[in-house]
A and B are shown apart, each in its own frame.
Chain A
Amino acid sequence: MTPMALITQLLQIVSALAAAPLFIGWVNQCRAWLGNRSAPSVWLPYRSLRKLFHKEAVIAEGASPLFRVTPYVVFGAMTLAAAIIPSMGTRLPLTLAADAIALVGLLATARVFQSLAAIDIGTAFGTLGARREMMVGFLAEPALLMVIFVASLISATTALPAIAESLATRSFGLYPSLAFTAVAFTMVLLAENARIPIDNPATHLELTMIHEAQLLEYSARHLALMEWAAALKLFNYACIGFALFVPWGVSTRAGGPAALFASIPLLALKLMVAGAALAVIETVSAKLRVFRAPEFLGFAFVFAVLGLLVHLLLGA
């Protein structure tokens, strides 16, 4: 392990942890602007995290140890995911441990723990949210895997840094297959991060919520970790999207420290654009009924498989 790789790795983890709440704040601000409301500060997520960390934690009666452990597991899984997604550099020592398919498994682990913890308390809303989450998850996961397979086929590897590097360094061409999978990936991102067509992140109306319903029983530092993990998840998904579809600007194996530092403002720019785009999508679309979610994710799957088939047939 060279010092350069270590620096890249550390920089990436620290910046993901630090920037994830900011990204959520930026998306919320864009949403408020588009909705013609006065926007909250972009720093609001940090303040609410600080507030939550200073409160006294209350745990429901009859909660099993699983309930206490879950916030740490979920947060840890998201941090590890942030470590193996090449958002700034492709020289990441930790990625030897996990390729793109293991990454999907890591995200699934977090989901399983979160759902189990929601069921653990035994309240009606927690169970309801957990069931819906699992429904969305089992439909979104195959679509996400298909998206990753297309990129893997094009670059002949399943390691995310290698995919990003090979896509970033090849000459520019029109890839209909990547265009299709980009659409599929956007749909998966919306569904997995509880964004609008599937779930409304701002809602506290119990009957329609999915993600929020699972966090109802958490308080103080546990809630803070869960919310931070949710922010990290969105950040991670955005970075997976960048690695697969707009990998330009990532510092590659050949690049020195200058390339690594040049990739920081580029990542910030990509995140700003992606956050604004996310806010636009959320503003122009209406929330679907829960029973239409399978159709939405079915489309995502079809898009991804079409991308795969088109790549196999046309080689493009």
Chain B
Amino acid sequence: MAGVPIDLQLLNLCAALLLLLSFAMLAQRRIVNLVNLLALQGALLLCATLLLAWRTGQAHLYVSALLTLALKVLFLPWLLHRLIRRLQVYWDSEPLLNIPVTMLAGLAVVVFAFGLAQPISALGSTATRNSIGIALAVVLLSFITMITRRKAMSQVVGFLSMENGLFFGAMSATYGMPMVVEFGVALDVLVAVLVLGVFFFQIREQFDSLDLQHLEKLREEAAAAGGGGNTSGGDN
């Protein structure tokens, strides 16, 4: 470790903390905290981008840091908090797997991601190429978050954290995507969250719940089992 410049050490610390935050998201039961963790992840991403921009002197990274700040640290968490208040959903139901098992699965996924990223890192020429494995692990862990949750809200948070992981991966592999792509992705995420926000209201109106299991049932089945979709779920 001695001899490694301090900014690279800080970048490594950011990468490690990103990985830790993904695990925290995996273990979190409350949706409000999940959104706060997402904001924190955005803030870490912002730190990492700024450090990298300062280290490499690439001007476009400052722009993308600004984009991260505006979108991922401020706007999206605010929007999600507003949605939580409007929809009155503060708790996720118990996740499909119990939490220790999910964590152990997460560990296995991290090992897999690190192994997968090893050859890519070996080919890379950037100073941060070692972090590619962490970015890949963050993406896969967000996948697990989405898979093990029932509620639409937590799935959206998982989706956004996956985007954070991709962004971090692009940053560590090639010092960021071209500006056009970055703006496109940012716009996509923004629109996706807005549209999904509308979806939440529609889903709840239809089923009285944000539990996505109701979407898996066929109409006739639901009608036969509970006398219409509206009565099948009591919790929100």
Contacts and interface: CB of A to CB of B under 8 A. Distances in A.
B12 A174 contact: yes
Interface string A171-186: 1011111011000000
B27 A306 contact: no
Given A306-B19, A310-B19, A316 B100 contact: no
Given A306-B19, A309-B111, A173 B1 contact: yes
Contact of A173 (B4, B15, B99): B4
A316 B110 contact: no
Interface of B: 1-2, 4, 6, 9-10, 12-13, 15-17, 19-20, 23, 27, 99-100, 103-104, 106-107, 110-111, 114, 130-131, 133-134
Contact of B9 (A173, A177, A310): A173
The 6 closest A-B pairs by CB, nearest first: A176-B16, A173-B1, A298-B100, A171-B2, A174-B9, A310-B16
Given A174-B10, A302-B23, A302-B106, A315 B16 contact: no
A166 to B, nearest CB: 12
A305 interface: yes
Interface in A275-316: 294-295, 298-299, 302, 305-306, 309-310, 312-316
A306 B10 CA distance: 18
A306 B110 contact: yes
Contact of B1 (A298, A309, A316): A316
27 contacts: A171-B2, A174-B1, A174-B10, A176-B12, A176-B16, A176-B17, A177-B16, A179-B16, A295-B99, A298-B99, A298-B103, A299-B103, A302-B23, A302-B106, A306-B20, A309-B111, A313-B114, A313-B130, A313-B133, A313-B134, A315-B1, A315-B130, A316-B4, A316-B9, A316-B12, A316-B13, A316-B16
B206 to A, nearest CB: 35
B20 A305 contact: no
Given A176-B15, A314-B16, 15 more contacts: A170-B1, A170-B2, A171-B2, A174-B1, A175-B1, A177-B16, A179-B16, A180-B16, A294-B100, A295-B99, A302-B23, A306-B16, A313-B114, A316-B12, A316-B13
Contacts of B6: 174
A298 B6 CA distance: 32
B-side interface mostly? helix
Given A302-B106, A302-B107, A314 B15 contact: yes
Contacts of A294: 100
A295 B134 CA distance: 24
A180 B9 CA distance: 15
B56 to A, nearest CB: 18
Contacts of A299: 27, 103
A174 B17 CA distance: 13
Nearest to B131: A314
A179 to B, nearest CB: 8
Interface string A245-268: 000000000000000000000000
Nearest to A311: B16
A312 B9 CA distance: 15
Contacts of B111: 309
Contacts of B130: 313-315
A147 to B, nearest CB: 15
B24 to A, nearest CB: 10
Q: Which of A179, A302, A309, A313 has the most CB of B within 10 A?
A: A313
A53 B2 CA distance: 52
Nearest to A154: B1
Contacts of B110: 306, 309
A170 B1 CA distance: 9
Contacts of A305: 107
Interface string A201-245: 000000000000000000000000000000000000000000000
A180 B12 contact: no
Contacts of A312: 114
Q: Which of A179, A299, A309 counts the most chain B CB atoms within 10 A? A: A309
